[in-house]
Amino acid sequence: MSNARAGEEALIARYFAPLAGPGAEELRDDAASLTSTPGHDLVVTADAIVAGVHYFPDDPPTSIARKALGVNLSDLAAKGATPRGFLLTLALPEDWTETWLAGFAEGLGAASRDFGCPLLGGDTVRTNGAAMIAITAFGEVPAGTMVKRQGARPGDRICVSGTIGDAALGLRLHPANRRGWTGPVDAADRAALIERYRHPKPRLMLAPVLRRHVRVAMDVSDGLAGDLAKMLTGVTARVILADVPLSDAARRVIASDPTLLETALTGGDDYEILCAVPPDARDDFLAGSQAAGVAMTDIGSIEAGEGPPIFLDENGAERAFARASFSHF
Point out the annotated binding site for Mg(2+).
30, 45, 47, 75, 123, 219, 222
Span of 40-48, 104-112, 158-166, 177-185 interacting with a copy of itself by CB under 8 A? 40-48
105 contacts a copy of itself (rule: CB under 8 A)? no
Residue 193 CB, shortest distance to a copy of itself, in Å, is 24
230 contacts a copy of itself (rule: CB under 8 A)? yes
22 contacts a copy of itself (rule: CB under 8 A)? no
Contact 95, 2 (CB under 8 A): no
Contacts of residue 287, defined as CB under 8 A and 6 or more positions apart, other chains included, come to none
Nearer to a copy of itself, 6 or 191 (CB): 6
Q: Tell me, by CB under 8 A, how many residues bind a copy of itself.
A: 71
17 contacts a copy of itself (rule: CB under 8 A)? no
How many CB atoms neighbour CB 149 within 10 A?
A: 18
Contact pattern for a copy of itself over residues 42 through 61, marking x by CB under 8 A: xxxxxxxxx-xxx-------
41 contacts a copy of itself (rule: CB under 8 A)? yes
Binding site listing for substrate: 54, 269, 326
Footprint of a copy of itself on 292-311 (CB under 8 A): none
Residue 248 CB, shortest distance to a copy of itself, in Å, is 30
Helix, coil or strand: residue 30 = coil
Span of 79-87, 162-170, 259-267, 289-297 interacting with a copy of itself by CB under 8 A? 79-87
Binding site listing: 30, 45, 47, 54, 75, 122-123, 149, 219, 221-222, 269, 326
- In angstroms, the CA 160 to CA 298 distance is 7
Helix, coil or strand: residue 222 = coil
Q: Work out the angle between the directed axes of helices 61-78 and 187-198 (0-180°, nearest 10).
A: 60
Footprint of a copy of itself on 129-188 (CB under 8 A): 129-130, 132, 134, 136, 138-139, 141, 143, 146, 148-150
Name the DSSP class of 187: H
Contact 315, 188 (CB under 8 A): no
205 contacts a copy of itself (rule: CB under 8 A)? no
Residue 327 CB, shortest distance to a copy of itself, in Å, is 6
Indicate the helix (H) or strand (E) that contains 171. helix 166-173
3 contacts a copy of itself (rule: CB under 8 A)? no
Residue 248 identity? D
- In angstroms, the CA 91 to CA 249 distance is 35
- In angstroms, the CA 216 to CA 148 distance is 5
- In angstroms, the CA 58 to CA 63 distance is 10
